[in-house]
Structure 1
Amino acid sequence: MTHTTLISAFDQPNASLAEDQALLPTVVAGVEATGQLLLQRFENRPEFKTRDDVVAAIDANDDAALTLLRPALLQARPQAGWVEDELESGLLPGGEWWITDPVEGNVNHIHGMTDWGVTATLVRDNVPVLTVVHLPLLGTTYTAVQGGGAFQDGVALRASAKDDLDGALVGTGQARPGESSDTFRRIGLSVTAMLGSALVLKVAVPATLQLIHVAAGRMDVFWQFSAVRSGLLAGALLTAEAGGTVTDTRGQPWTLDSGDFLASAPGLHSAAINVLLTVR
């Protein structure tokens, strides 16, 4: 099966490119300052006995991070709205909105694991136009502005040049606890299907920390059967600006209203879709 190239929101001209690029250093500063706060909290890992203990620690991390991140972003862009629930999906009202995950990979952070960071994405009329992802443990920051490229610490990112799925490193993951049984079923079926097609498969959370690798050409394909905005927007913009392909799992243009998500090296996009189309 072949798939035609479809025009998506990422391909539209950014009339505010210069303004967004001028805003970027302020956003980077706010996100990196939040990361330093979380780095201090990472050194004091709590102990857990119950799910309630885990949830309380996650909430405490979010609350602490937002004391720095929210005022920094709202001061930088006062006209932008703020999405309170980081697990929300779907289209937003028109205008500008900040979509953040103040502790992306929070469950990893509280358990003393290293896959976590801070993300902030500015969305304009339902299109991500600016994003910052900071990984405090590595001292690394990823940035992208729509129409201006994607970068890791100022070095341009480029998606993988692979064109054969049997040599690809691919990945997926769970967007949030409590997904539907059908979503869990589809995740399982897709993992089995990809294990028979790709070289190596990774299943992990959070999505953003796999998507930055797709943008950087270190991974080749990532898909997710969910539409949680905060886990996909940053990586979607980074991947698109690095020359990757971002659609839903059927190859249609991805939007905030899409039910699932696929980001890949351009040479593997059709092959990845062909595998995922077997999942019903």
Structure 2
Amino acid sequence: MTVNAALADPAPTSAKGAGIRLSKVEQRYGVDKGTVLALTGVNLDIAKGEFLVLLGPSGCGKTTLMRIIAGLLKSTEGTVEIDGQPLWNGNRRNDKVMQELGVVFQDANMFPWMTIEDNIALPLKLRGVGKEERRRRAAELCELVGITGFEKRWPRELSGGMRQRAAIARALSTRPQILLMDEPFGALDAMTREQMNLELQRIWMESGCTVVLVTHSIREAVFLADRVLLLSPRPGKMDTIRDISIARPRSSYDQSTPEFQAHELELRKRLDSFA
């Protein structure tokens, strides 16, 4: 494995997020003629408040790794810990640890028969939070993600970018310490995607949570990440860890700087070497 930076904690000591530790994580899938090794040898510490981006070629196991961290898939081998607590107890998920996780997918998955406010507050309703508190929290989150005034709208009335803002708000509704995002802006046009990257950086800096994001975009990875973890082709292995030390907050103009372009070029060269 090529390591471009030490695995030191790059996050401020005041970070609110939770740390993540993956030890000897491996994932195999059964098929008719045997098993397929999708992911192997993942040993990784993600610091409290860190923004880590998972990058790699199609089929390298990025989404598989994300699903393992999210507790949506139990790894064939190895362990996952959140702030020192196991994500799994045998074959049962640790409910207390799961409460620290918020997940955003590429599709916003808004319930069309619910208003934006009710969609955002749904996790709170499922936890028995009262109506007035749910409305207050939804309003607070709409302001955070920049959709104030759209609380009573239906999902069909919002653009794709605005629906993704609402999905992020819903994931943050329970104040999770970790936000996991699987290609959240992959279906958006280029201009909207760039704006959402700026907004996500702002939301992360304000919330203080730990973020792990999956993307195919090298530019998006460099713009958002504290560190980029590049996975090799299947079976996915930790190939390169690159520390992105560009000062924050980052702006679109930073993408034209020599420092930014150097990070982008090195990651692109490594990805091209897999072909």
- TM-score, L = length of structure 2: 0.30
Name the TM-score, length of structure 1 as normaliser: 0.30
Q: Comparing both chains, which one has the higher relative contact order based on Cα–Cα distances under 8 Å and sequence gaps of 6 or more?
A: 2
Larger Rg: 2
Please identify which structure carries the higher strand content. 2
